[in-house]
């Protein structure tokens, strides 16, 4: 199949691809067949730089032997173990290792298999927690416009990307949204966190006034929004959200599916921004993208509230057949070893200045209306073509792929989030390819 797929359209037909223009893709497929370090290899044998860590997940780079061998060993030793009323040592080890690096008293971890599942788990925990404390009226969930929290019904309900929501019916009831923080007028071409926009957190007070705090369970935000096109939080914004949640007894959930595991420097965005939420959702970099896994970390007070009934009672009626899957745990433990031994959580900070200079050097190229960056992330926003939103950025994406660089586009934003092992030479090469693509697409 792999040899023929690139040339034989019939070989592509049976697969319904996710978040993809299937017919457009199949008329000109882009197939990846191998990966190592900072590079993918395409079906036609070209090496291209991975400018996106796969899909924001391969933080330690591709083909890491230690992770590969850990998964190989584990699948040979024990392929699967049931997670309900049974356990296996690796899942306990992994939870302990995670709580050692998580901020504050986020010291209990629940496993899922994806970011979407982690988000829905966190939302359910928030509702159940309030109910256990006798505040069962707190059922409202507050998300944010342009937020991305995966594709479960919970995630798209609190999410704020119109196209991900509008064809799927009424979604969860009792959800409201804060405004997003993106403003080209005030913040275009900011390096790092923008000065303008902290006041947008005060919109939570408006939502509280409208619905009453006694009806609100939780606020969920991405500390830095990735999938919607890289929105960096304004200085002071997350601090204000935290303070307003505290004032009204509302839980604050950080969706760190993208920002976790070193993407912004430090283990988690919570650390980088100095704001500790009540729950953190994780996935992606948790296993370096090798085996699907998601997780929810919760503060002690949340966990302990659940542990108060009879000891024989199941405390939370929730879980997945593959929660704490042995292969995912083996992959995650080896991944954490790699992050630790190579100091990869610090690397986004050590590379940040160089990265920032390189991406801001794209300023002035055709149609570039904003460049924004933090840690090892950048968003390059392009002016949309009249009547064809997203078309220009898509062409840039195709051109980059053809000339040696994988980027991600969302709307008219080109998003970059390379593996944290990136070196200056890769940055220079990547920016050359992207600059050429921007010039040639026009």
Among 91, 255, 352, 412, binds ligand PLP (CB under 6 A): 255
In whole angstroms, the minimum distance from the beta carbon of 20 to ligand PLP comes to: 14
Using CB under 6 A as the binding criterion, the count of chain residues that bind ligand PLP stands at: 14
Q: Give the residue with the Cβ less far from ligand PLP, 223 or 404.
A: 223
Q: Give the residue with the Cβ less far from ligand PLP, 114 or 373.
A: 114
Q: Which stretch binds ligand PLP (CB under 6 A): 143-151, 361-369, 391-399, 402-410?
A: 143-151
Tell the residue number behind the tokens 């040979």, with chain if given: 76
Is residue 225 within 8 A of residue 56, CB to CB? The reply is: no
Q: Where are the beta strands (DSSP E) in 139-191?
A: 140-144, 175-178
Q: Can residue 263 be called a binding residue for ligand PLP (CB under 6 A)?
A: no
Q: Can residue 222 be called a binding residue for ligand PLP (CB under 6 A)?
A: yes
CA 144, 148, 149, 154 torsion-angle sign: positive
Secondary structure of 11-75 in HEC code, one letter for each residue: HHCCCCCCCCCHHHHHHCCCCEEEEEECEEEECCCCEEEECCHHHHCCCCCECCHHHHHHHHHHH
Site string for ligand PLP, 82-121 (x = CB under 6 A): --------------------------------xxx--x--
Is residue 137 within 8 A of residue 299, CB to CB? The reply is: no
Q: Can residue 150 be called a binding residue for ligand PLP (CB under 6 A)?
A: yes
> What are 177's strand-pairing partners?
143
- Distance between CA atoms of 342 and 344, rounded to whole angstroms? 5
Q: Give the residue with the Cβ less far from ligand PLP, 161 or 333.
A: 161
In whole angstroms, the minimum distance from the beta carbon of 389 to ligand PLP comes to: 21
Sheet-wide strand order for 32-36 = 32-36, 39-42, 47-50, 405-406
Q: How far is CA 81 from CA 76, 78, 334, 407, in A?
A: 13, 7, 19, 37
Among 227, 335, 356, 417, binds ligand PLP (CB under 6 A): 227
Please report, as residue ranges, which positions from 396 to 435 form the binding site for ligand PLP (by CB under 6 A).
none
Q: Can residue 223 be called a binding residue for ligand PLP (CB under 6 A)?
A: no
How many Å is the maximal CA-CA distance in the chain? 67
Please report, as residue ranges, which positions from 264 to 283 form the binding site for ligand PLP (by CB under 6 A).
283
302 Cβ contact partners less than 8 Å away, ≥ 6 residues apart: 108, 125, 129, 251, 278, 279
Is residue 145 within 8 A of residue 178, CB to CB? The reply is: yes
Among 70, 95, 178, 257, binds ligand PLP (CB under 6 A): 257
In whole angstroms, the minimum distance from the beta carbon of 161 to ligand PLP comes to: 11
Among 62, 108, 149, 177, binds ligand PLP (CB under 6 A): 149
In whole angstroms, the minimum distance from the beta carbon of 225 to ligand PLP comes to: 7
In whole angstroms, the minimum distance from the beta carbon of 149 to ligand PLP comes to: 5
- Going by the DSSP 8-state scheme, the letter that residue 145 receives in this structure is T
Tell the residue number behind the tokens 């995912």, with chain if given: 328
Q: Can residue 258 be called a binding residue for ligand PLP (CB under 6 A)?
A: yes
Among 143, 226, 285, 324, binds ligand PLP (CB under 6 A): 226
Residues at the interface with ligand PLP (CB under 6 A): 114-116, 119, 148-150, 222, 226-227, 255, 257-258, 283
């Amino acid at each position: 199949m792999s040899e023929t797929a690139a040339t034989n359209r019939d070989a592509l037909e049976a697969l319904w691809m996710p978040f993809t223009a299937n017919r457009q893709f199949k008329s000109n497929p882009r197939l990846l067949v191998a990966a190592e370090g900072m590079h993918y290899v395409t079906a036609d044998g070209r090496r291209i730089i991975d400018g996106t860590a796969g899909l924001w997940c391969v933080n330690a780079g591709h083909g890491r032997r230690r992770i590969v061998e850990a998964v190989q060993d584990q699948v040979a030793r024990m392929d699967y173990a049931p997670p309900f009323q049974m356990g296996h040592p690796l899942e306990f080890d992994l939870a302990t290792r995670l709580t050692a690096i998580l901020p504050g008293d986020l010291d209990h971890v629940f496993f899922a298999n994806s970011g979407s599942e982690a988000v829905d788990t966190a939302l359910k925990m928030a509702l159940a927690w309030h109910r256990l404390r006798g505040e069962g009226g707190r059922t409202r969930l507050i998300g944010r416009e342009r937020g991305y929290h995966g594709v479960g019904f919970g995630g798209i309900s609190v999410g704020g990307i119109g196209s991900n929501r509008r064809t799927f019916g009424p979604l969860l009831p009792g959800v409201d949204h804060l405004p997003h923080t993106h403003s080209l007028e005030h913040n275009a071409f900011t390096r790092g966190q923008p000065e303008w926009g902290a006041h947008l957190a005060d919109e939570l007070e408006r939502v509280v006034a409208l619905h009453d705090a006694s009806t609100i369970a939780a606020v969920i935000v991405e500390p830095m929004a990735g999938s919607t096109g890289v929105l960096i939080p304004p200085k002071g914004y997350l601090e204000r959200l935290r303070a307003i949640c505290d004032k009204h007894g509302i839980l604050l959930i950080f969706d760190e599916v993208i920002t976790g595991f070193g993407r912004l420097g430090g283990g988690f965005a919570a650390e980088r921004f100095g704001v500790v939420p009540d729950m953190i959702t994780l996935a992606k970099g948790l296993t370096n993208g090798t085996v699907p896994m998601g997780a929810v970390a919760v503060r002690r007070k949340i966990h302990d509230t659940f542990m108060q009934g009879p000891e024989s009672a199941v405390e939370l009626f929730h879980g997945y057949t593959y929660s704490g899957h042995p292969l995912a745990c083996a992959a995650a433990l080896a991944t954490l070893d790699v992050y630790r031994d190579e100091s990869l959580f610090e690397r986004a900070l050590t590379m940040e200045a160089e990265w920032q200079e390189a991406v801001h050097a794209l300023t002035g190229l055709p149609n570039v209306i904003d460049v924004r960056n933090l840690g090892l992330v950048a968003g390059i926003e392009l002016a949309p073509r009249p009547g064809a939103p997203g078309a220009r950025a898509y062409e840039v994406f195709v051109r980059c792929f053809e000339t040696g660089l994988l980027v991600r586009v969302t709307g008219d934003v080109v998003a970059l989030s390379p593996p944290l092992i990136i070196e200056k030479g890769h940055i220079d090469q990547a920016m050359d390819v992207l600059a050429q693509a921007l010039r040639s697409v026009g």
